[in-house]
Homo-oligomer: A and B are copies of this chain.
């Protein structure tokens, strides 16, 4: 397929979203260096300077650029799409041997995604329902970004011992234990406390992480992140059943 270089570049420079399917090689230089030999790819160029190179399989782009400007050139019969981010010192060059098809249009989207079920939702839930941790647990605050560190929830147990809770939305791993231990060490140091309880709240925990927790006399409490929309949908279904 023939490509109209002038109109293609005009689209790139006029806030259009450009799609190009082609056979090409890709060379990248920036934070690392990469080369991708000849093959068919889908290329997306967005108005914000994003450029994505997708192979026919896989969910992540094989190459990409951010905050870059792109230009299509034809020199000595070689068609090249170049992307440059001078600020980040990143360079990407696509040598195109065959254009399968391309398209572009002005796209408008002012919406942002609403998502439920994050770790933040989990700590909110625990704060509102402290009995999920223990019957006598009293959450004190949810100061994520304070001088004490970015702690998900902390409070006191029935013996007035300070409790630090680290939430994980899926499997808690060794890194989660590292994190909890680091927070506990810092809090002990800052508040001059001898004893602080540490709890990981997650639906699952890896065996090694659990072992490490127990080795350091820390605790695990099984808690799952909330999914309000799902509950809403289920409620709606139930209503419909009547």
Task: Enumerate chain A interface residues (CB-CB to B < 8 A).
Answer: 17, 19, 21, 26, 29, 31-42, 44, 46-48, 50, 52, 54-59, 61-64, 66, 100-101, 103, 105, 107-118, 169-170, 174-175, 178-179, 181-182, 225, 227-230, 233
B-side contacts of A61, CB under 8 Å: 59
The answer for the CA separation of A225 and B48 in the assembled complex, in Å, is 30
When distances are taken between beta carbons in the complex, the residues of chain B under 8 Å from A40 are 107-109
- Write out the residue numbers on chain B whose beta carbons fall within 8 Å of the beta carbon of A41: 107, 109
Determine whether the beta carbon of A46 is less than 8 Å from that of B63: no
For the complex of A and B, 4 pairs with smallest distance between CB atoms: A39-B109, A32-B117, A40-B107, A33-B229
Once the chains bind, are A228 and B116 in contact (CB under 8 Å)? no
Task: Give every chain B residue within 8 A of A47 (Cβ-Cβ).
Answer: 56-57
Contact indicator B227/A32 (Cβ below 8 Å)? yes
Report whether B48 and A57 are in contact in the complex, using a CB–CB cutoff of 8 Å. Answer: yes
Report the bound CA distance from A52 to B35 in whole Å: 24
Residue of B46, B116, B182 near A34 (CB, 8 A) is: B116
- Could you tell me the distance in whole angstroms from the C-beta of A109 to the nearest C-beta in chain B? 3
Closest Cβ of chain B: how far from A20's Cβ, in Å? Answer: 10
CB pair B32 A118 closer than 8 Å: yes
Whether the pair B17, A56 counts as a contact (CB closer than 8 A) is: yes
Q: Which residues of B contact A118 (CB under 8 A)?
A: 32
Q: Are B42 and A50 in contact (CB under 8 A)?
A: no
The smallest beta-carbon distance between A28 and chain B, in angstroms, is 8
A216 to B175, CA, bound (A): 18
Q: How far is the CA of A100 from the CA of B103 in the complex (A)?
A: 10
Report the Cα distance A175→B229, complex, angstroms. Answer: 34
Minimum Cβ distance to chain B for residue A232 (Å)? 9
Chain B minimum-CB-distance residue to A62:
B113
Knowing A19-B42, A59-B50, A225-B32 touch, does A100 contact B105 (C-beta < 8 A)? Answer: yes
Question: Could you jot down 8 A-B contacts, CB within 8 Å?
Answer: A19-B42, A39-B110, A40-B109, A42-B107, A48-B57, A55-B111, A103-B103, A174-B182
A116, closest chain B residue (CB): B33
Closest chain B residue to A41, Cβ basis: B109
